[in-house]
């Protein structure tokens, strides 16, 4: 059964007969409306047959209100297309008032009047659909009171009237949340995507008339688009199907743009085609290769999905590993910006979180990433100052991750954390990680390998550098006294990491550019290490404090164990940026 049929059955069996109203979280009115009406029309037919058999019941009617045209009756052609009647009541605007609030109140007033003016001699089965892009009822108490009155009128109405609101629904006020359910409109599944591509490509490419002929990589590239974006993108993809690789690239780019427009609080990073240089971390790499084998061979019966936490000092390669994993598994990265999900508008945070999770469920295999998770989850333990938004967000995130594991969704959760903030993570989060890895500072030998890898990327394999000497010089340059803001001398080491190697190479390239080359020579690299030393050691005392705190936390974490989904140990690994 496709997701729209499942949506209709769920709506009919759980909601239409039990509640006077319903909120559908969706921006695509033209796609949701036919399935909404199908479920309610079935209920109205049952009502007419069992309850109002001998009464003068008016035929079921669908009324649609939107911001531009007011209230109109809607019917459907045989081909399923909408047919709009004449506007019954036009909108009234007050230029001096908040537009969104006035429009919502005006809509509810129009529907209330329509119900109130129904002749007493008639029983009507009417579905009133209010299409409003952002009905933030928690932030509009007067509109919420209007809605409560409308729902009371619906309950008292002679007949079987119902009210549905379609839009990106936020948090509901308490007086409505107990009896006004919220239902998410589904995203297209694999079968729907194949059908959309086949329909669009059938005339130009007869081969793809068969749904199963649509390449699986193309289906994955389109997964996560909503119905409107899928329809538009499928037409463009069909034109390019003579070159499947070009079609897949176009679909991937279109999905990145669509996700950015639909949910600007998440970033979809396309699949990395060339893995970035990563040295060390062999244990983690081996684990990722095992995940690759499971993903590419579903017949072996292992459920997909995995969750790891990468923790360690800044600059040791935690973030770049996510890109390496994307290239190895050939799947994109969905990165959430929690600060953007949290919104000053009341109720928007809950809706945005639901939107992120619904998009992730529909996207197919991908990496779900929260970078520096300790900074994204510090205030989510239910402080009174945020009205409970933090605790609700944390609960939603935990439930989503648990559902992903229980249902075998192909979502790979990869979070990163700096050690200095590791103790601020909510303890509930630890039980959701399959494995936790600690990435340590690189030693001199590994630092030389990091130099070699990045210089090979910059200068090519044929140029010869004394990477061991460069690594030793960089480590000596950073082992210096650190001066804090007050001028007090504090002795301590600033350990070299892969990020420093990248910085040195880029600075040396600036020097080589003066002689007309983008490839630095060894003298320019050595001079750069010396020249930037002053900048590297001009740290305040926080640098030393951070280093000492990192060492204490590393010792503390290395001797502890984390339990949850099995026994999760902390692995200590050398690595780089």
Tell me which residue of 29, 16, 262, 4 sits closest to 130, measured CA to CA. 29
This model's pTM is above 0.75: no
Tell me which residue of 396, 385, 430 sits closest to 557, measured CA to CA. 430
* pLDDT tens-digit series, residues 536-561: 444 433 444 445 455 555 554 444 33
Q: Are 422 and 557 in contact (CB under 8 A)?
A: yes
What is the Cα–Cα distance from 283 to 268, expressed in whole angstroms?
A: 27
The pLDDT score that the predictor gives to residue 368 is 92
Tell me which residue of 75, 146, 133 sits closest to 107, measured CA to CA. 146
Sign of the alpha-carbon torsion through 268, 231, 407, 24:
positive
Torsion, Cα of 310, 313, 319, 322 (10° steps): -30
Tell me which residue of 467, 466, 427 sits closest to 450, measured CA to CA. 467
* pLDDT tens-digit series, residues 5-22: 788 888 888 888 788 888
The pLDDT score that the predictor gives to residue 107 is 76
The pLDDT score that the predictor gives to residue 560 is 39
The pLDDT score that the predictor gives to residue 559 is 43
Category of 566 on φ-ψ map: left (φ > 0), alpha (ψ -120 to 50) or beta: left
Q: Determine the CATH number of domain 3-184.
A: 3.40.50
Segment 384-393 long-range contacts (CB within 8 Å, at least 24 positions apart): 387/346, 389/342, 389/349, 389/350, 392/349, 392/350, 393/338, 393/341, 393/342, 393/349, 393/350, 393/353
The pLDDT score that the predictor gives to residue 414 is 92
The pLDDT score that the predictor gives to residue 575 is 45
The pLDDT score that the predictor gives to residue 550 is 52
The pLDDT score that the predictor gives to residue 281 is 85
Which residue ranges make up each domain of the chain?
Answer: 3-184, 188-259, 263-439, 444-540
Q: 263-439: same fold as 3-184?
A: yes
The pLDDT score that the predictor gives to residue 80 is 67
Topology (CATH level 3) of domain 263-439: Rossmann fold (3.40.50)
3-state secondary structure of 208: helix
The pLDDT score that the predictor gives to residue 48 is 76
Query: Cα–Cα–Cα angle for 485, 490, 491, nearest 5°?
Result: 145
**Full DSSP string of 283-342:** HHHHHHHHHHHHHH-GGG-----EEEEEEESTTSSHHHHHHHHHHHHT--EEEE-HHHHS
What is the Cα–Cα distance from 261 to 359, expressed in whole angstroms?
A: 13
Q: How many CA atoms lie within 13 A of 332 on its CB side?
A: 24
In tens digits, the chain (577 residues) has pLDDT values of: 677 778 888 888 888 878 888 888 887 888 888 888 888 888 888 887 776 565 556 678 888 888 777 788 888 876 667 787 777 666 555 544 445 556 677 777 777 777 777 665 566 788 888 887 666 676 677 778 878 888 888 777 666 788 888 887 666 777 777 678 888 888 888 888 888 888 888 777 777 777 777 888 888 888 888 888 888 888 888 888 888 888 888 888 888 887 877 777 788 888 887 888 888 888 889 999 988 888 888 777 667 778 899 988 888 888 889 999 999 998 899 988 777 776 645 556 777 788 888 888 888 889 999 888 877 765 444 454 555 667 777 888 888 888 888 888 889 999 988 877 677 777 777 778 888 888 888 888 888 888 888 888 877 766 678 888 888 888 877 765 443 333 344 444 567 888 888 888 888 888 888 888 888 888 888 888 876 665 544 443 344 444 545 555 555 444 433 333 333 334 444 444 4
Query: Cα–Cα–Cα angle for 387, 424, 559, nearest 5°?
Result: 150
Residue 159 DSSP symbol: B
The pLDDT score that the predictor gives to residue 249 is 86
């Amino acid at each position: 059964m496709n997701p729209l049929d499942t949506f209709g059955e769920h709506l009919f069996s759980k909601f239409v007969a039990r509640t006077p109203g319903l909120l559908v979280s969706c921006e695509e009115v033209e796609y949701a409306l036919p399935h909404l009406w199908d479920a309610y029309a079935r209920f109205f037919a049952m009502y007419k047959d069992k309850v109002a058999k001998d009464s003068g019941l008016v035929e079921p009617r669908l009324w649609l209100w939107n911001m531009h045209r007011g209230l109109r009756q809607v019917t459907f052609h045989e081909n399923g297309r909408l047919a709009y009647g004449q506007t019954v009541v036009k909108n009234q605007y007050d230029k001096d008032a908040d537009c969104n609030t006035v429009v919502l109140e005006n809509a509810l007033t129009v529907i209330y009047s329509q119900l109130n003016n129904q002749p007493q001699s008639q029983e009507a089965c009417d579905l009133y659909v209010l299409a409003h892009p952002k009905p933030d009822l928690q932030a509009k108490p007067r509109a919420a009171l209007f809605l409560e009155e409308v729902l009371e009128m619906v309950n008292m109405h002679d007949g079987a009237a119902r009210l549905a609101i379609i839009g990106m629904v936020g948090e509901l006020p308490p007086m409505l949340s107990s009896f006004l359910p919220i239902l998410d409109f589904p995203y297209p599944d694999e079968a729907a995507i194949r059908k959309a591509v086949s329909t669009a490509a059938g005339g130009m490419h007869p081969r793809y008339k068969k749904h199963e002929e649509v390449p699986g990589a193309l289906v994955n590239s389109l997964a996560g688009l909503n119905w409107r974006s899928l329809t538009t993108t499928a037409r463009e993809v069909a034109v390019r199907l003579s070159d499947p690789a070009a079609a897949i690239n176009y679909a991937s780019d279109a999905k990145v743009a669509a996700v950015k427009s639909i949910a600007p609080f998440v970033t979809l990073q396309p699949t990395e085609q060339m893995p970035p240089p990563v040295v060390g971390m062999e244990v983690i790499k081996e684990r990722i290769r095992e995940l690759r084998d499971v993903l590419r061979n579903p017949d072996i019966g292992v459920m997909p999905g995995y969750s790891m936490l990468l923790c360690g000092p800044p600059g040791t390669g935690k973030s770049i590993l996510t890109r390496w994993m994307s290239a190895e598994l050939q799947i994109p990265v969905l990165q959430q910006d929690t600060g953007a999900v949290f919104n000053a508008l009341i109720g928007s945070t809950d809706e945005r979180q639901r939107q992120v999770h619904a998009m992730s469920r529909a996207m197919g295999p991908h990496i779900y990433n929260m970078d520096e998770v300790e900074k994204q989850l510090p205030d989510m333990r239910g402080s009174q100052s945020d009205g409970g938004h933090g605790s609700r967000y944390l609960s939603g995130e935990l439930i989503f991750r648990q559902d992903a594991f229980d249902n075998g969704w192909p979502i790979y959760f990869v979070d990163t954390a700096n050690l200095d903030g590791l103790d601020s993570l909510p303890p509930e989060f630890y039980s959701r990680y399959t494995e936790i890895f600690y990435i340590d500072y690189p030693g001199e030998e590994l630092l030389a390998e990091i130099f070699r890898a990045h210089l090979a990327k910059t200068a090519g394999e044929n140029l010869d550098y004394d990477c061991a000497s460069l690594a030793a010089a960089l480590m000596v340059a950073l082992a210096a006294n650190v001066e804090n803001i007050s001028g007090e001398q504090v002795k301590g080491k600033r350990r070299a990491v892969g990020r420093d190697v990248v910085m040195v190479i880029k600075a040396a390239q600036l020097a080589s550019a003066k002689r007309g080359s983008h490839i630095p020579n060894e003298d320019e690299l050595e001079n750069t290490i010396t020249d930037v030393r002053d900048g590297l050691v001009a740290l305040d005392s926080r640098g030393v404090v951070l280093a000492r705190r990192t060492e204490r936390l590393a010792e503390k974490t290395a001797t502890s164990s984390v339990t949850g989904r099995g026994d999760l140990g902390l692995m200590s690994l050398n690595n780089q940026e």
